[in-house]
Each structure stands twice: as C-alpha cells, then as structure tokens.
Amino acid sequence: MLVGLGHLINGAWMLANPDTWYANVPGVMQTGPLNHHFVQDIGMAFVASGSLLIAGAGTLRHSAAFAISGAAWPILHSTIHIAGWLMHGLPSGGTRLFTELVGVVGISGLGGVLAWLRAKGET
C-alpha cells in the first residue's frame, strides 16, 4: 500500500507541477532539458501504477492481479536505470546514486516482491 501511495503521490506531483518535480528530483536535470509532455506521460504511468498497487493491497478477489499489474511498470522503469549503469557506470554523486538505488530500483523491487508474494497468497 505504501509503495503504491508513493507512486501515486509522485505521479500527481509530476502532473500538477512538472517544473518543480524536474528541479527537485536528484539526477533528473542531468538527463536533458525539461520536456513537459514527457514528464506528464511518465506522471500518468506513476498514477496508474500507484493506483493499481493500492488496489492490489485490498481484499478483492483479483487483488493480486492488480498488484502485479501495478508493479510491472516500475520494474521495467528500473531496468532502464540498471542498463544505464551497465553501459555508463553508476551515477556520480551520493544523492543521485542513493535516489536511483533506493528511490528507483529498490522501491520498484520491493513493489515487485510484494506483488509476487500477494499472488502467491503469502501477504
């Protein structure tokens, strides 16, 4: 539920104020100039993912399917970051490295594991 809420809040921030999001998330400015359309596209993906992860935490009959669906996009997103590390090395700077390791890959992995456990009936 908390992973989903975090994704939902991040997506809402991206949609509501892409300029502030772009300026405040470590490492984002190093990816190139602000593209409002792109940030809002990704914001929608975060909103969808977060909503599905939250629904997946419920007790409905198909909650596990919602959880797995919600975890899919963040896991795919984290593979882009991992591929970048393999090609170019880990991000320089402690804040950016922490943001990517914990905020992108770690949270995505946690959501994926929790969704998988939910599907297995263990959570």
In tens, the pLDDT along 60-97 reads 888 999 999 999 999 999 999 999 999 999 988 888 89
pLDDT at position 122, please? 59
DSSP-derived secondary structure letter, 91: P
Burial category of 26 from C-beta neighbours within 10 Å (exposed 0-12, middle 13-18, buried 19 and up) = middle
Write down the pTM of the prediction: 0.86
pLDDT at position 79, please? 97
pLDDT at position 31, please? 87
User: pLDDT grade, residue 121 (50/70/90)?
Assistant: confident
Cα torsion 69, 70, 73, 74 to 10°: value is -140
d(CA 86, CA 75): 16
Write down the mean pLDDT value for the chain.
93
Cα torsion 55, 57, 60, 62 to 10°: value is 80
Domain boundaries, the chain: 2-120
pLDDT at position 10, please? 97
Specify the amino acid at residue 46: F
d(CA 118, CA 69): 12
Residue with tokens 């959570």: 123
pLDDT at position 92, please? 84
pLDDT at position 22, please? 97
Q: What percent of the chain has pLDDT over 90?
A: 80
Give mean pLDDT, residues 25-43.
94
d(CA 54, CA 74): 14
